[in-house]
Structure 1
Amino acid sequence: MAAISSSIVSLFKEIQLQNCGNFSNYPKNSTFSANFSTRAFRASSQEPLDDNKFYKELGMFSLRKRIEDSVLRAEMFGPTALELEEAKHINQEEVIRDYDLWDDLGKSNEILIKLADSAKVVDTLRDLKFKAEEAKLITELAEMDAINYALFKQAYSSSLDLNKCLDRYEMSKLLKEPYDMEGACITLESKCGDIYSEIWAGQLTQMYMKWAERQGHAGRIIERFPSNNGGIKSATIELEFKFAYGYLSGERGVHSMIRSFENHPEASLASVDVIPLFIESSPDLLIDDKDILFSYPSNCKDNPSKTSSAVHIQHIPTGLEVQSTGERSRFANKIKALNRLKAKLLIIMKDRGLSSVASITKGALTDTWNRETRKYVFRPSKMVQDLRTGIQHPDVNAVLNGNLDPLIAAHLNSRQTSTTVNEPA
């Protein structure tokens, strides 16, 4: 038993040590089952090393082919997408010209925000043309300079930028469901009483923070309840940027880390719940006051003499419970907890096709612990297996370092396929 515990601790130390490095430096090929993720992330999942070793091992023909494929994709897809978005932008400008912005300030603000977002998309797609020309020019210069690895590195980097830009555009076209454009509130919980699950939950928390960083945004850990072993019992992350919920809605469920010792696999479990974080407005849902039970913890566990500002809410008809502890005042925590409760109820109504809160029964609630979403296998082989889409990713370390895009793309693609199949003929 002591030997097994020692091996487990060594495994977690290995994971933590590896995650301190830059896993984007692992140039591994990945094959995915989802059509969209296969195309969209074939090049963007490849990130070069800082020296010439990567390019020499890859081979100049293969490297040139990857750059050419990226440029070709941008030249074929970019103009069509640009034409579509420019037409959409012109139409929005015509709507504004025909609309009196002073009639309804709320509606006017919504229209102006959409117009600004559309302008950003158009500018990004216009920039694709220049990026593609830049990658071609640098490649030609590299060949003229007797295969200049530094120039090829620059061209390859430009081709990655092309693919990332197109990947995000394509994914944004799949984010059309209600609340997809909202921010995200992620709550992680470790399996009760399991020290290894508590460490694992801490790893997953960092994974989502790193994913947000890769998107160019900063996530906030607003609540964190640490355990005595360096892990966490639970944590709450807020991602205050558009489409965060749409990207991460498929993360909901149980994430298990599989380790194997002497052919006896063991699992560390953590649950992940994701709800919309309404950034620019409050959730549009009315809840009867008599259906809500508020409670206020009397003190802080870490400092019994200090009064807590935490707020706990129970929705009596459904039994749903939420809390907020991250704000300084009890009033702010009360508002945040109410918004979380409303967000949970709205998602249940959407998933169940219900029209009112009164239609929700306790039997309609799905416990996140009863839904297995993903396995992260470390021994004997390393891979990430997404149980909802069937996708398998061979680089578990890259995923833990925030490279969730292939898994997210597979989920969005499967969601789109499911919607298309269910649409009436």
Structure 2
Amino acid sequence: MLAPTALEHEEARRIKQEEMIHECNLWEDPAKSNEILIKLAGSAKAIDALKDLKYKLVEMEAINYRLFKQAYTASLDVRKLLDQYEMSRLLKGPYDKQGACVVIRAGSKGLNHEIWREELLNMYVKWAEKLGYKGRLVEKHTSMHGGIESATIEFEFECAYGYLSGERGIHHKINSQNGSVHHEVTTAYVDVVPLFLGTGFDFQIDDEELIVSCSPSLLRDGKSRTEMTVCLQHIPTGISVQSSGERSHFANKVKAHNRLKAKLLVIAEEQKVCDVSSIRRADIVDEWQKETRRYVSQPYKLVQDVRTGIELPDLNSILDGNINTLIGAHINIRHTE
């Protein structure tokens, strides 16, 4: 801290000594001249030393800043790991440790709704990336505008279902331009089912209980995937699923069966019944009637989580994948219930 002040002081002294040399005749008083020259040399030496010290201090500050930045980043990483650990400890459900299959579907038609589904898709993908994982986009159906009609992502890492199961339901984006009382609301439906990692199912679905059909989904290249898209409906419960992301009809049928089984297991668990055959169709919750979250973009930015009551002001941060606060709140609610 004193080095810059000392350097300024020595440079001022040298300037004064140089002025004295110019003002006096060196030949008239050799002794005084010699004294001035010695002081000038000493001052120059001190200035060089102080400059060297100043440069070293600047280097040390840069090193200290880098060390501080590394320590701060490390502390954030540690905090993130601790938060993940604390959340994972609360995941007590029978399927919470499994991977997750997230399906984003149309709430309504229109370009704005398609753009909203794209934003939700990116939000979940970025969330996984921030945890050090990747989401595998297995299905993406685009409209004639190029927007998303529906998309399916698979997260093949432990606890993904436990983290994301609270995301099921309707996600509204609300926009009110110029303070108008008329809100533009865009909607998307998010479904989440377990993706079993290395474990099989302990029950089979009889063919008599299924309706199998195909839907004419089209890809961007214009080639029909009708012959490969498989839709299954479970007759006793009315639950339906679809798979179109695999390379063959058979592979899509297997994937659709697995998704249907996973959905039925979750419903059985929610109804506290011993097996899938005991599911009460009348008691199945209609997820299309369940609002999960509101994302307000105008006239102010706010994210409102309907079930937990949490409100967060940074909409852009949430859409950038920073949803752990919301996920943690849902996990805490499930734990207390």
CA RMSD in angstroms comes to 2.3
Spell out the pairing of 1:26-425 with structure 2 (5 A cutoff): 148-261=64-177, 262-297=180-215, 303=222, 308-418=227-337
- TM-score of the superposed pair, with normalisation by structure 1: 0.61
Output the CA distance in 2 between the equivalents of 1:146 and 1:229.
51
Cα displacement string for residues 178-233 of structure 1 (whole angstroms, at most 9, x for unaligned residues)? 10010000011122323211110111011111111111111111111112333211
Q: Which letter does structure 2 place at the counterpart of 1:288?
A: D
Q: Which letter does structure 1 place at the counterpart of 2:264?
A: L
Alignment partner, residue 35 of structure 2: none
Following superposition, the deviation at residue 298 of structure 1 comes to 7.2
Cα displacement string for residues 354-394 of structure 1 (whole angstroms, at most 9, x for unaligned residues)? 12222223322222210000011111111111111111111
Output the CA distance in 1 between the equivalents of 2:215 and 2:327.
37
Q: Which letter does structure 1 place at the counterpart of 2:187?
A: L
Following superposition, the deviation at residue 288 of structure 1 comes to 2.1
Output the CA distance in 1 between the equivalents of 2:225 and 2:333.
49
* SS of equivalent to 1:264: coil
Identity between Structure 1 and Structure 2 (%): 53
Contact map agreement 1:191 1:198 (CA 8 A) in 2: no
Output the CA distance in 1 between the equivalents of 2:279 and 2:238.
10
Following superposition, the deviation at residue 292 of structure 1 comes to 1.2
Contact map agreement 1:197 1:270 (CA 8 A) in 2: yes
* 1:330–1:370 CA distance, 2 compared to 1 (3 A): same
* 1:180–1:205 CA distance, 2 compared to 1 (3 A): same
Instruction: Please identify, of 193-202 and 299-308, the stretch whose mean Cα deviation from structure 2 is larger.
Output: 299-308
* SS of equivalent to 1:192: coil
* 1:227–1:166 CA distance, 2 compared to 1 (3 A): same
Q: May I ask how many residue pairs the two structures share in their alignment?
A: 277
- TM-score of the superposed pair, with normalisation by structure 2: 0.77
Contact map agreement 1:207 1:400 (CA 8 A) in 2: yes
Contact map agreement 1:282 1:339 (CA 8 A) in 2: no
Cα displacement string for residues 73-93 of structure 1 (whole angstroms, at most 9, x for unaligned residues)? xxxxxxxxxxxxxxxxxxxxx
Output the CA distance in 2 between the equivalents of 1:225 and 1:299.
7
* 1:340–1:249 CA distance, 2 compared to 1 (3 A): same
Contact map agreement 1:375 1:384 (CA 8 A) in 2: yes
Cα displacement string for residues 130-161 of structure 1 (whole angstroms, at most 9, x for unaligned residues)? xxxxxxxxxxxx9x959943332222112112
Output the CA distance in 2 between the equivalents of 1:249 and 1:338.
20
Output the CA distance in 2 between the equivalents of 1:299 and 1:306.
6
* SS of equivalent to 1:270: strand
Runs of at least 5 residues in structure 2 that lack an aligned partner in the other structure:
1-57
* SS of equivalent to 2:176: strand
Output the CA distance in 1 between the equivalents of 2:217 and 2:153.
23
Q: Which letter does structure 2 place at the counterpart of 1:282?
A: G
Alignment partner, residue 32 of structure 1: none
Runs of at least 5 residues in structure 1 that lack an aligned partner in the other structure:
1-141, 419-425
* SS of equivalent to 2:157: coil
* 1:396–1:307 CA distance, 2 compared to 1 (3 A): closer
